[in-house]
Structure 1
Amino acid sequence: MPADTRVKICGLTRPQDVEALVAAKAAYGGLVFFPKSPRAVSIEQARALAVAFPPELASVGLFVDPDDALLEAVMAEVPLSILQLHGKETPERVSELRARYGLPVMKAVGVASAEDLPALADYGRVADMLLVDAKAPKDAVLPGGNGLAFDWRLIAGRRWPVPWMLAGGLTPENVRDAIALTGARQVDVSSGVESAPGVKDADAIARFVAAATA
């Protein structure tokens, strides 16, 4: 398994979460700007967290179908490295925001069956990175962070025009198997390293990163 696997820990809410990511040598830290999420942070909270990121830790802002007002407010205050779009944004919207802010855009695509795979190719033509996630149930409040996995065999051996990241139901216990099966070089976790919704566990973060990069 490649030792250069890059790990994203999403849904940071406290200063000690940033410290845990730095100690574990994660590559990305995610800040959630979606009020319905138990991991949502205010602009003020996000700024305080993001300014503490060292240069080697990329700050990712997660948005779900954001309007321009929210984006402008966040971008004016929070130093972000990457925009993550986790809603039903169209390829045109992805291109628009990428051009407007001059930042790399990661587009999340939910996967439950082979019918969901063509969308990855569509977004791969306009985004800088893809997040291949488990599709949320129809009645789910959250588009991600539900602790659900999909059948990893659906994407085994597949490649897209841009780098991609595997998400959905990953834990310190299964991430090595997920990487081995899919060939993922980047992985994303949120609920899988929490002691409660929105409360990150430093020991679980350390174990997750260690397992992913072993």
Structure 2
Amino acid sequence: MATVKICGVRTPETVRELRRLSVDHIGFVFAKSKRQVSAEEAGALIRELHDGVSGGESERPLAVGVFVDPSMEQLEAIMDKAPLDVIQLHGSESPELCAAVKQRIGVRVFKAVSLERESRDIPSAENIAGRLDRYRGAVDAILLDTHDPVYGGGSGTTFAWECIPPYQVWAREAGVQLLVAGGLTPDNVDNLVSSFGPDGVDVSSGVETEGTKDLDKIRKFVERVKRS
């Protein structure tokens, strides 16, 4: 069954609702974005996430911090105030930085790979290997997302899903998860999951109404992923 990540969360009310649903990851955006939160804000939301949980992370969604080209010093300073379970990197971060984050900070690392919205060229195994082989052992998951020229990801638009299978092959050989983001909504996510079977899906604007998280859309999104 695919995991679900709801990204761009900013309110304790949303955190409380996501705890009631079968959500696996809650994303807090530290990169430049209209959904950006400070370390202090994220810390308060993570405390809400942990509140009343005695059995550890298996009994709650994992807290994911989304960054674009952060320094190690920035990550360590944020971790002091907001104890993340996962760091998701959306920029041009090197394999060396990814490995250092895992070793020094002791969290899981998701690395985003941006795909062009208009391109329908299916990448070859050699092309993917040349792009990703250096990240073997340095990351826990690869996240496919639609390229955004300003923020790197979070564009709210889909890429050609036909590009997913060769990335899945690479991910399975490398022993990492393959997650998919980019333009997902309650109306299209069941088609993605049933047709391509990613290990997980990631949504932000697709479960919003006028820029605010819509709990009805979130419930529908989660239900349609888990039944696919």
Normalised TM-score (structure 2) = 0.84
**Which of 143, 147, 151 is residue 135 of structure 1 equivalent to?**
147
Q: Pairwise CA RMSD of aligned residues?
A: 1.7
Identity %: 39
CA distance in 2: counterparts of 1:142 and 1:104, whole angstroms: 22
CA distance in 2: counterparts of 1:9 and 1:174, whole angstroms: 15
Instruction: Give 1:124 shift.
Output: 4.1
- Greater shift, 115-124 or 75-84, is seen at 115-124
Instruction: Give 1:206 shift.
Output: 0.5
Q: Deviations over 1:84-130 (max 9, x none)?
A: 11111011211122211111111011123445744244434421111
CA distance in 2: counterparts of 1:150 and 1:123, whole angstroms: 22
CA distance in 1: counterparts of 2:153 and 2:17, whole angstroms: 22
- Answer yes or no: is the 8 Å Cα contact 1:120–1:130 preserved in 2: no
**Which of 104, 116, 123 is residue 135 of structure 2 equivalent to?**
123
- Answer yes or no: is the 8 Å Cα contact 2:99–2:137 preserved in 1: no
Q: Deviations over 1:160-183 (max 9, x none)?
A: 121121111100000011112222
- Greater shift, 23-32 or 47-56, is seen at 47-56
Find out whether 1:207 has 2:207 as its counterpart. Answer: no
5+ long unaligned stretches in structure 1: none
Mark the CA change 1:151 to 1:120 in structure 2 (over 3 Å): closer, same or farther: farther
Normalised TM-score (structure 1) = 0.90
The aligned length equals 206
CA distance in 1: counterparts of 2:221 and 2:113, whole angstroms: 23
1:51 partner letter: R
Instruction: Give 1:156 shift.
Output: 2.8
- Answer yes or no: is the 8 Å Cα contact 1:123–1:130 preserved in 2: no
CA distance in 1: counterparts of 2:62 and 2:185, whole angstroms: 21
**Which of 95, 100, 103 is residue 96 of structure 1 equivalent to?**
100
Find out whether 1:153 has 2:162 as its counterpart. Answer: yes
Structure label with greater radius of gyration: 2
Instruction: Choose between structure 1 and 2: higher helix proportion.
Output: 2
2:41 partner letter: Q
2:99 partner letter: S
Q: Aligned runs of 1:189-204 on 2, under 5 Å?
A: 189-197=203-211, 199-204=212-217
Find out whether 1:186 has 2:200 as its counterpart. Answer: yes
- Answer yes or no: is the 8 Å Cα contact 1:111–1:117 preserved in 2: no
Larger RCO: Structure 1 or Structure 2 (Cα < 8 Å, ≥ 6 residues apart)? 1
- Answer yes or no: is the 8 Å Cα contact 1:104–1:127 preserved in 2: yes
